Structure 1
Amino acid sequence: MRKNVLSILLCIAIVACQGNHNRNQESSLDYSGVQLPEKPNILWLVTEDMSAYIPAFGDSTIKTPNLSRLASEGIRYPNLYSVAGVCAPSRCAIATGMYPTSIGGSHMRVNSYTEETGLPAYEAIPPADVKMLSEMLRKQGYYCTNNYKTDYQFKHPLTAWDECSPYAHWRNRKEGQPFYAVFNFTETHESGLFEPYGYRHIETRHYHSGDRRYEWEDGRMKEEQTPVHLSKETKFDIPPYLPDNDVVRRDIWKEYNNIAEMDRQVGAVLKQLEDDGLLENTIIFFYGDHGGPYPRQKRLIYDSGLNTPMIIRFPQKQLAGDVDDQLISFVDFAPTLLSLAGVNPPEYLQGQAFMGRYPSAKKRNYIYGAADRFDAETDAIRAVRDKRFKYIRNYRPNQGYYLPVKYRERIPTMQELLRLRDAGELDSIRALWFRKSKPTEELFDCEADPHEVNDIAGLPEYKEKLVELRLEMDRWIQEIGDQPNLPEKELIEQLWDGDVQPVTIDPVISEKNGKIEISCATTGASIGYKVIPMNAKAPNSWTIYQLPIALPKGATLKVKAHRIGYKSSKEMEFKVI
């Protein structure tokens, strides 16, 4: 009898939550009148570690003429949220349309810090049907380029990109071929706050800005000194969780200066697009890979770590100047781009299209976030947010929020926080992050308390909202198969079905009716091939195998197969005599 009563109460609570779903839902823009080419070009401009610190979103500290122009000609999206406060899990969600917590990709990073964790390097393994977004677009005839980030929590298959390098560009495609081009800008990365100040990056890269080349090597800029775009006397608003002193102000000055330099480089790419006569055939996306770079922003699941600005410009400036305030998650990018390209998104995708020919029938009521291992330090936190409130569940309540991530401790502001903590000079708000334990559940009113420093989970007037979001988190976790706080060793064993990473089976090449057929026994493997005519060089990119191939006499065929998360097969070769 008691079980029946509990079941009835649970059903009542779920129905009540559904009612709240409808109340939370607000109308978004009407995209039905937008006119697009059958296969529009898609340009992605992606910056790193950036909250809404630009004029288009209300912060006029630094001028960003290129982004401001893009916003005036496009649509602003204030409610875009990453699935995590760091890049690799976020990029995993973007590339696959899947939550990293559902496919083994939530730890930052899965292939590093093996000495500290004692674990082998591994990769996320999504279900067999899952392909990278770029591969799906390539199958639709798109020329897909990536410049140059590739940490997806798995090694991208050779079929993922036509070009993937610092020099990848839409200009290398066949004439008239639609393109999906990704340009990553690293100037706003957290490492840009390190001292001595200069544009600092993890690996060497090259970036072409008009006719000038900028090169970084060993974390230092070559050929030109760091440009200064902002007076060092500029006054800033300081978040209440950071100290208001010269150390912090210098770091904030650096970040705004870095944003201005990023804007300049965005402008260089946009100029190339205009010079090529492609502006009005291209949908342009600008967004950040997650929230800001400062301590208590990056790596956390507060809005300061998850929320990032997005601008989308349609051809002919359609819907110019509008704002769409619907909730959008990074998992929504893959189905949305497919929808814009005229492809009905596969049902397995965990995201939903928010525009295009196949938009989701319902708008989002919630977004979700997660925090697990960061470098050598581990936690287990999940979050669910509606338009106003955020619910946080801490699976390790006896562990403090602050994690001693060595990379972050190179930021002067982080060093200053630790100094003030050790001296006992932090006020109550700045000391919150350094508590020795944390509640199992937290609730924040993100409108009244945008910095999420006032936990209202224990207040009776918010009990209904607490129950609603608690139940929604339970539902989401069950739906995607998340296992919060699962030891990473056990996660790897589950992914590998043992203690050895699975390997993609070598493809089989056969000849039938004068054509070459290729197959692979590994379910979900992508097959790539290159046809090398006699006395000719091999093409740079791998073609995705879809149909039998006719080969000219004397040609050589190279074939390789790769399922995401598996080791790739051996490279096979076939010659036509």
Structure 2
Amino acid sequence: MKQYIFLILITVFFITSCKQEKIANKPPNILWLVTEDMGHYIPSFGDSTIVTPHLSKLAKEGVVYPNLHSTSGVCAPSRAAIATGMYPSSIGANHMRTTSYNDVIGIPKYGAVPPAEVKMISELLRKQGYYCSNNYKTDYQFKPPVTAWDESSPYAHWRNRGKDQPFFAVFNFTETHESGLFEPYGFREIETRHYYSGDRNYKWKGFGKSHAKNRMTEAETPVHVSKNTKFKIPPYLQDNEVSQRDLWKLYNNIAEMDKQVGAVLKQLEDDGLLDNTIIFFYGDHGGPMPREKRLIYDSGLKTPMIIRFPDKKNAGIKDGQLLSFVDFAPTLLSLTKQEPKEYMQGQAFLGDFKAKERNYIHAAADRFDGFTDAIRAVKDKQFKYIRNYRPEQAYYLPITYREKIPTMENLLILKNEGKLNEFQMQWFRESKPKEELFDCLNDPFELNNLAENPKYKEKLIELSNEMDRWLSEIKDTPNLPEKELVTKLWNGKKTKPITEDPVVQFENNKVKISCDTEGASIGYKTNPKAKSWSVYSKPFSIESKENLLVKAHRIGYVPSKSIQVNIADLK
């Protein structure tokens, strides 16, 4: 009997060990949950104003990163950094946006043009066999090549991948966006699209309509936060009924976003994928309120990040290292056992190629809609140095979109009536100092400029030198007129460069595809009706009866035409 029990135990141990080894050797799935315009407004980052059960659970089971910074206080430049691992101002992605307000400022529409070897991180993962899906915002400051995603749509989901295929899935939540503060108030979409992701037969009410036309009324909008809650207003805003109402909207939107995050996490758990998925939650930059979004104070740059590892590894830890969005792409490669690319300007903070902790983060602010400034920032764990390249120009930019926020509208009224205090008036100064230095630990709202204080002279010099080093390294020329930037990106030509059409050949019973445009990504379909394009990397076999569809695209260029080839004609 004892021998029988022993054999059972040995068998169970063997099966369990094999299962664990199999899980350990499988490439990890990676899930990104990305919200918009998000400061440290949740309990796991010190703000207990509201309850966020799903994010709080994620934080309890994961690692909290309180020092993540975007490269800009606005989404498109920041998303360019995330997608490429490069600083926006090094590739022409720094102006918000490259395709909007062009008539106003007198330049053609263009896209960022990174060096030829630069690929989107999703394409690099696809080459390693990952199924990459994006649901569904892009906004990278360039048109993504057809090779970027297996699927990028409102239906994109890991559930559409091949059997046992590892995945990199991105879900973008729009409820916390700045426009969620506009009046009339109401959630952007009548239904929670993430509940139905992966089901292409499901049709949402009002699908395809603009967000403005597809809003609930305030009466229809779920109330997650009591309207009687007294919210803490930052000192650069005035505490009155208008700002209190906007803060109520902000927190109510966050609570709805938390509900949607929970829906996606439940799908992951229902699919039995928690044990082999690394989950990231983060925002695309700081908060949506006035003097937050678009600025490079911490209120515009800092955004929360939580990472949950399989088996809840390191659960409950707070990791305070400085992190930047340019670190995301090399970190993804490192987590999938790939060495980060030499062109990447960030560094891995996790995985096999984890680098030494960084000492500084960097950020930039340039054009926003129809108004241009030129500001650069560098920060260590305590101090931030800001250099203003247009000191003669006011801080405040009269951006129409932002002025739809009731608090912003109210601030302008109070300013004209002379009712703002010293701190609230700082943003509206007619000029600004050439240099600013803030102690972000003791002055988190960055209201007391220490640049002229002799006590901090050494820190000022240190950070100024670091900024000079960084600008030289990434070849950033602050205050370069945007028209000259476009000329530089287009190599002196007046029109956007075009990707050459791909050339298809049949050699040694295999299809070989090439493109004369250096750095062009090549996508192909053996079935023209297929939803996604395969990434071409080397010659491949194909049946002669099949037709081949081929397309080439270098980032920042016009894509080539889609070329249809009959394989039988090549033989």
Query: What is the identity, as a one-letter code, of the residue corresponding to 1:129?
Result: E
Q: CA deviation at 1:208?
A: 3.1
- Measured in 1, the distance between the counterparts of 2:567 and 2:473 equals 50
Identify the residue that residue 456 of structure 1 maps to in structure 2. Answer: 450
Q: CA deviation at 1:273?
A: 0.3
- Measured in 1, the distance between the counterparts of 2:213 and 2:541 equals 50
Query: What is the identity, as a one-letter code, of the residue corresponding to 1:514?
Result: N
- Measured in 2, the distance between the counterparts of 1:60 and 1:222 equals 28
Q: CA deviation at 1:487?
A: 0.1
Identify the residue that residue 19 of structure 1 maps to in structure 2. Answer: none
Residue by residue over 1:367-390, the C-alpha shift from the partner in whole angstroms, topping out at 9 and shown as x without a partner, is 001000000010000000000000
Query: What is the identity, as a one-letter code, of the residue corresponding to 1:194?
Result: F
Identify the residue that residue 465 of structure 1 maps to in structure 2. Answer: 459
Q: Is 2:484 the partner of 1:490?
A: yes
Q: Is 2:560 the partner of 1:574?
A: no
| 1:335–1:349 CA contact under 8 A, matched in 2 | yes
Query: What is the identity, as a one-letter code, of the residue corresponding to 2:533?
Result: W
- Measured in 2, the distance between the counterparts of 1:200 and 1:37 equals 42
Query: What is the identity, as a one-letter code, of the residue corresponding to 1:421?
Result: K
Query: What is the identity, as a one-letter code, of the residue corresponding to 1:397?
Result: P
SS of alignment partner, residue 193 of structure 2: strand
| 2:361–2:380 CA contact under 8 A, matched in 1 | yes
Structure 1, 404-413 or 545-554: larger mean CA deviation:
545-554
Q: CA deviation at 1:209?
A: 2.2
Stretches of 4+ moved more than 6 A in 1? none
Identify the residue that residue 353 of structure 2 maps to in structure 1. Answer: 358
- Measured in 2, the distance between the counterparts of 1:567 and 1:486 equals 24
Query: CA separation of 1:316/1:214 partners in 2, compared to 1, >3 Å: closer, same or farther?
Result: farther
- Measured in 1, the distance between the counterparts of 2:494 and 2:330 equals 34
- Measured in 2, the distance between the counterparts of 1:171 and 1:232 equals 39
Q: Is 2:549 the partner of 1:558?
A: yes
Pick from 155, 158, 172 the counterpart of residue 184 of structure 1. 172
Q: CA deviation at 1:200?
A: 3.5
- Measured in 1, the distance between the counterparts of 2:425 and 2:116 equals 46
Please give the residue correspondences for 1:375-414 in structure 2 after superposition, counting only pairs within 5 Å: 375-414=369-408
| 2:188–2:216 CA contact under 8 A, matched in 1 | no
- Structure 1 residue runs of 5 or longer lacking an equivalent are 1-34
- Measured in 1, the distance between the counterparts of 2:364 and 2:543 equals 52
Pick from 493, 496, 500 the counterpart of residue 495 of structure 2. 500
- Measured in 2, the distance between the counterparts of 1:67 and 1:110 equals 34
Identify the residue that residue 539 of structure 1 maps to in structure 2. Answer: 530
Pick from 330, 344, 347 the counterpart of residue 342 of structure 2. 347
Query: What is the identity, as a one-letter code, of the residue corresponding to 1:209?
Result: Y
Pick from 103, 110, 129 the counterpart of residue 115 of structure 1. 103
- Measured in 2, the distance between the counterparts of 1:91 and 1:375 equals 17
Q: CA deviation at 1:319?
A: 0.3
Q: CA deviation at 1:167?
A: 0.7
Q: Is 2:217 the partner of 1:226?
A: no
| 1:560–1:568 CA contact under 8 A, matched in 2 | yes
Query: CA separation of 1:223/1:175 partners in 2, compared to 1, >3 Å: closer, same or farther?
Result: farther
Pick from 82, 87, 98 the counterpart of residue 94 of structure 1. 82
SS of alignment partner, residue 430 of structure 1: helix
Query: CA separation of 1:205/1:335 partners in 2, compared to 1, >3 Å: closer, same or farther?
Result: farther
Please give the residue correspondences for 1:27-46 in structure 2 after superposition, counting only pairs within 5 Å: 37-46=25-34
Identify the residue that residue 305 of structure 1 maps to in structure 2. Answer: 300
Query: CA separation of 1:506/1:476 partners in 2, compared to 1, >3 Å: closer, same or farther?
Result: same
Q: CA deviation at 1:576?
A: 2.4
Identify the residue that residue 443 of structure 1 maps to in structure 2. Answer: 437
- Measured in 2, the distance between the counterparts of 1:512 and 1:576 equals 12
SS of alignment partner, residue 429 of structure 1: helix
Please give the residue correspondences for 1:57-76 in structure 2 after superposition, counting only pairs within 5 Å: 57-76=45-64
- Measured in 2, the distance between the counterparts of 1:207 and 1:132 equals 26
Pick from 254, 261, 270 the counterpart of residue 256 of structure 2. 261
Name the TM-score, length of structure 1 as normaliser. Answer: 0.91
Q: CA deviation at 1:37?
A: 4.5
- Measured in 2, the distance between the counterparts of 1:393 and 1:37 equals 48
Q: CA deviation at 1:215?
A: 5.5
Query: CA separation of 1:378/1:153 partners in 2, compared to 1, >3 Å: closer, same or farther?
Result: same
Query: What is the identity, as a one-letter code, of the residue corresponding to 1:150?
Result: T
Q: Is 2:123 the partner of 1:135?
A: yes
Q: Is 2:195 the partner of 1:209?
A: yes
- Measured in 2, the distance between the counterparts of 1:221 and 1:95 equals 29
- Measured in 2, the distance between the counterparts of 1:416 and 1:369 equals 29
- Measured in 2, the distance between the counterparts of 1:115 and 1:55 equals 44
- Measured in 1, the distance between the counterparts of 2:299 and 2:321 equals 18
Q: Is 2:516 the partner of 1:521?
A: yes
SS of alignment partner, residue 393 of structure 1: strand
Residue by residue over 1:286-345, the C-alpha shift from the partner in whole angstroms, topping out at 9 and shown as x without a partner, is 000000000000000000000000000000101000010000000000000110011111
- Measured in 1, the distance between the counterparts of 2:445 and 2:478 equals 25
- Measured in 1, the distance between the counterparts of 2:272 and 2:196 equals 16
Query: What is the identity, as a one-letter code, of the residue corresponding to 1:366?
Result: Y
SS of alignment partner, residue 98 of structure 1: coil
Query: What is the identity, as a one-letter code, of the residue corresponding to 1:310?
Result: M
Number of residue pairs matched by the alignment: 536
Query: What is the identity, as a one-letter code, of the residue corresponding to 1:66?
Result: H
SS of alignment partner, residue 431 of structure 1: helix
SS of alignment partner, residue 180 of structure 2: helix
Pick from 286, 301, 325 the counterpart of residue 330 of structure 1. 325
| 1:210–1:268 CA contact under 8 A, matched in 2 | no
Query: What is the identity, as a one-letter code, of the residue corresponding to 1:86?
Result: V
- Measured in 1, the distance between the counterparts of 2:550 and 2:514 equals 10
Q: CA deviation at 1:412?
A: 0.1
Residue by residue over 1:425-481, the C-alpha shift from the partner in whole angstroms, topping out at 9 and shown as x without a partner, is 110000000000000000000011000000010000000000000000000000000
- Measured in 1, the distance between the counterparts of 2:73 and 2:24 equals 33
| 1:114–1:120 CA contact under 8 A, matched in 2 | yes
Name the TM-score, length of structure 2 as normaliser. Answer: 0.92
Residue by residue over 1:228-284, the C-alpha shift from the partner in whole angstroms, topping out at 9 and shown as x without a partner, is 001001011110000000000000000000000000000000000000000111000
Q: CA deviation at 1:553?
A: 2.6
Identify the residue that residue 24 of structure 1 maps to in structure 2. Answer: none
- Measured in 2, the distance between the counterparts of 1:191 and 1:370 equals 23
SS of alignment partner, residue 271 of structure 1: helix
Identify the residue that residue 166 of structure 1 maps to in structure 2. Answer: 154
- Measured in 2, the distance between the counterparts of 1:36 and 1:358 equals 18
- Measured in 1, the distance between the counterparts of 2:104 and 2:538 equals 46
- Structure 2 residue runs of 5 or longer lacking an equivalent are 1-22
Pick from 60, 72, 81 the counterpart of residue 69 of structure 2. 81
Q: CA deviation at 1:210?
A: 5.9
